[in-house]
Amino acid sequence: MKGTTGPRESPNRGASRRRAPTFQPRFTLSLLYLAGFFFLYAILLILPELLGVLAEVAPGPEQQELAREVAREAARPRLVIAAALSLLTTAAGGYYRVLPGMRTPG
């Protein structure tokens, strides 16, 4: 009985007791939240001007062209505001763990 001095221990025995880490794409989700909040805030900041065009101009190609021009002019100074708001919202949501997918399990 050569080599049967005791039970053999597997070299990976300690590793099998640990739970496998779960995949949590926090960085990817934070980028998606950042982009989503940016578009939401950009639309909300431009919406009053677009509603003014809708109320003043009759429907048709002239209204579309005027709405496009008003949206372009209104968006330029407000894009920085939308970017800052989206960054703050994503950071606060990640810090307070209120955004789905950004919470730690447990």
User: In 24-79, which ranges are E strands?
Assistant: none
Query: pLDDT of the chain along its 106 residues, tens only?
Result: 565 665 565 555 555 578 877 777 889 999 999 999 999 999 999 999 999 999 999 999 999 999 999 999 999 999 999 999 999 999 999 999 999 988 776 5
C-alpha–C-alpha distance, residues 100 and 75, integer Å: 29
In this prediction, residue 16 carries a pLDDT of 59
Domain limits, the chain: 24-95
In this prediction, residue 105 carries a pLDDT of 64
